[in-house]
């Protein structure tokens, strides 16, 4: 079972996404405090981080870059999401492996997750 760290400070959206992911066979840890992302990744191994660009008090791209610059977790796959125009380039430039634009359909979200995990797994093999 793939383990996902979902970084989402919006309570309702985070719970909806967590429930959807768990119904589709993922083990999910929902983190509402974005500044603790690196700490959580250092404490447990995750197969994927799902990270919103717009988080309370911090831009998700800063967290993404911090993950990429932290030795033991730098290869953790990251899927970023945002509803802002031009966010795809900003997020991938920060180090995201994949990006999904909000709003999205659940199937597109699940396909993006699978593709990100598979791509990274194939790259590491």
Q: List, for residues 36-56, the tens digit of each pLDDT value.
A: 999 999 999 999 999 999 998
pTM: 0.94
pLDDT of residue 56: 86
Cα-to-chain-centroid distance, residue 111: 14
For each of the domains in the chain, give its residue range(s) and CATH number, in order of start: 3-104 (3.40.50.2300)
Distance between CA atoms of residues 112 and 4, nearest Å: 13
Check whether 125 has a pLDDT greater than 60. Answer: no
Distance between CA atoms of residues 92 and 90, nearest Å: 6
Check whether 75 has a pLDDT greater than 70. Answer: yes
DSSP, res 117: H
What is the biggest distance separating any 2 CA atoms in the chain, rounded to whole angstroms?
A: 37
pLDDT of residue 93: 97
Q: List, for residues 81-107, the tens digit of each pLDDT value.
A: 999 999 999 999 999 999 999 999 999
């Amino acid at each position: 079972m793939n383990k996902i760290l979902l970084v989402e400070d919006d309570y309702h959206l985070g719970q909806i996404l967590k429930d959807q992911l768990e119904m589709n066979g993922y083990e999910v840890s929902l983190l509402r405090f974005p500044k603790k992302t690196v700490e959580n990744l250092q404490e447990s191994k995750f197969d994927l981080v799902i990270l919103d660009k717009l988080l309370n008090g911090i831009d998700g791209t800063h967290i993404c870059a911090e993950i990429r610059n932290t030795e033991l977790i730098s290869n953790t796959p990251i899927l970023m999401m945002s509803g802002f125009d031009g966010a795809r380039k900003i997020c991938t430039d920060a180090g995201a492996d994949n990006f999904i634009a909000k709003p999205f359909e659940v199937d597109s979200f699940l396909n993006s997750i699978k593709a990100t995990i598979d791509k990274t797994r194939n790259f590491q093999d």
